[in-house]
Structure 1
């Protein structure tokens, strides 16, 4: 494997979940009654790489699939989207994960993950990492899910240590309590075991944050890392834990961004008629990467990322719904 050169390095390398999304082609219908489905490339880290590629960035994913037809589909889809798949490798003993969802607009999109006995993307091993490429990438993006099990946990922390805060390192707080043995999304949701799952995850989130320069997540996700739920308090706590920029997504209240140097931006949401909100956060992430690489100020960067997320929320799919820069700019010009 060749080392990336200064002119050939990646704008973005993401590391984490990959799989196949099986989404109903009917809305407002339970899975028990859905008759037709669409198949799409999925997984949060993968969607972010696709979203940034659609913004014109050179991107790659570090992940693993099963050695099965769905794994072949994933490689084909990544290449079609212009995402480098050299670090997406097969695991013979586990099937490629699939995820089903139900679509009840505007704000109810239950997910059903099929990742057992173990997801291949949790079998990323430290010794397999291309540390030179990770160090060279302009942006490196990891997720909370990558910390939930070994060997992915050790691999994620090894990648962060190798990176050593060179360039921009983004920690997507990405909270899925079921991957940590919990139920209930956050303490505020009254989940039976959500708070205990958060307590289990927090030390690993803290370890990752020590290496990150940017943290991004919603209030529930920020609570995993900080134990707090007030957005401004969460942002300050994340800064205190070592990041330079904290981005707190607040749903209908918009997004809050706070930089260590004192700059702050609080941007309202971009209203759209929601069809499927599941890919909006990943579209936001890809647009955020584009803005960081472009050196934008906080407020225009948050407005752009919000708009990119809104565009996807108004579409059915996730990966194939990611907008181009031209689409985002036209969308903003209409507002």
Structure 2
């Protein structure tokens, strides 16, 4: 059964430099590689879900530049519907990423065209209403996130929010979120507690379901009915963790939409992330459904 996923969020061109050790403030270091790769948390989640087998609609904005055209092309080549991806005057968003030899990264995002996604455009609600789930992030203006979440709720669509970059969330967003998927750092900021179990309990006071991704320690789920699930990660040697979280959310949503229960969906999402971190890049690292299946078969 194919699931339909709408993604309302950011599209960037990732400008990625690979270095032995990331520079400290005021320091210059030599890099060994540089790549440009379409990304942004919205586009990343759209690509991850599409490669995992979902039918995906991308809603957002790119600029009138070569980056915008390339982002659109890559989405289309992965069979993502870009009818809701509008082109606006000016530049596309960019993410300036430094990846070190341990696979860690630091990122500066320049929103540009993403800053115009502050409300629903004509046709956006129809794209959301025709989907089973809606994926949201925080790299676009909060009014846009709130409007999309409200549209999801009005139309009975499961609203999934990745609260990144971490920020205080307003009631008009949280009241329409069904599933919150922060990483451990975002969960600690939102809950005011760096213990994952206590953070989970506090976040469940805000939304009905929460999955906290814990990096190498796996992921933790809870809901208001008292369910609690912990799924370990798959031990692999990471070379670039840039899109691990977005891969997890995209694969998780595809699996849930196809009828997997939460533990199975979390395990599938963990496998997708494990494959992705063994490759360079964001969208370029995301596994296909077959690659995830083959990885799991070997475990």
1:279 pairs with 238, 243, 266, which one? 243
Q: Answer 1 or 2: which has greater helix percent.
A: 1
Residues 123-134 of structure 1 aligned to structure 2 (within 5 Å): 123-129=116-122, 130-134=124-128
TM (norm. structure 1) is: 0.81
Q: Unaligned stretches of 5+ in structure 1?
A: 1-8, 147-151, 177-200
Q: Distance in 2 between matches of 1:328 and 1:17?
A: 25
Higher relative contact order (CA 8 A, sep 6+): 2
Alignment pair present for 1:71 and 2:68: yes
Q: Secondary structure at the match of 1:256?
A: strand
Q: Structure 1 residues 172 and 58, CA, compared in 2 at 3 Å: closer, same or farther?
A: same
Residues 209-224 of structure 1 aligned to structure 2 (within 5 Å): 209-224=174-189
Residues 189-208 of structure 1 aligned to structure 2 (within 5 Å): 201-204=167-170, 206-208=171-173
1:139 pairs with 113, 133, 137, which one? 133
Whether the 8 Å CA contact 2:41–2:139 is kept in 1: the answer is no
Alignment-derived partner of residue 97 in structure 2? 101
1:261-304 Cα deviation digits (max 9, x unpaired): 33221111111111101111111111101121122222222111
Q: Structure 1 residues 235 and 157, CA, compared in 2 at 3 Å: closer, same or farther?
A: same
Alignment-derived partner of residue 150 in structure 2? 161
2:196 pairs with 231, 244, 248, which one? 231
Number of equivalent positions: 292
Whether the 8 Å CA contact 1:22–1:98 is kept in 2: the answer is yes
Whether the 8 Å CA contact 1:27–1:104 is kept in 2: the answer is yes
Alignment-derived partner of residue 186 in structure 1? none
Alignment pair present for 1:80 and 2:46: no
1:171 pairs with 161, 164, 168, which one? 161
Q: Distance in 2 between matches of 1:127 and 1:96?
A: 19
Alignment-derived partner of residue 110 in structure 1? 106
1:85-129 Cα deviation digits (max 9, x unpaired): 11111221x31122232221325212233x1xx521121142515
Q: Distance in 2 between matches of 1:265 and 1:143?
A: 23
Alignment-derived partner of residue 40 in structure 1? 37
Tell me which stretches of 4 or more aligned residues in structure 1 moved more than 4 Å: 29-32
1:313 pairs with 267, 277, 285, which one? 277
Whether the 8 Å CA contact 2:203–2:210 is kept in 1: the answer is yes
Q: Distance in 2 between matches of 1:305 and 1:250?
A: 13
Q: Secondary structure at the match of 2:38?
A: strand
Q: Answer 1 or 2: which has greater strand percent.
A: 2
Alignment-derived partner of residue 25 in structure 2? none
Q: Secondary structure at the match of 1:217?
A: coil
Q: Structure 1 residues 225 and 136, CA, compared in 2 at 3 Å: closer, same or farther?
A: farther
Q: Distance in 1 between matches of 2:33 and 2:20?
A: 13
Q: Distance in 1 between matches of 2:207 and 2:21?
A: 44
Q: Unaligned stretches of 5+ in structure 2?
A: 23-27
RMSD: 2.2
Q: Distance in 2 between matches of 1:127 and 1:109?
A: 32
Alignment-derived partner of residue 112 in structure 2? 119
TM (norm. structure 2) is: 0.90
1:300 pairs with 242, 254, 264, which one? 264
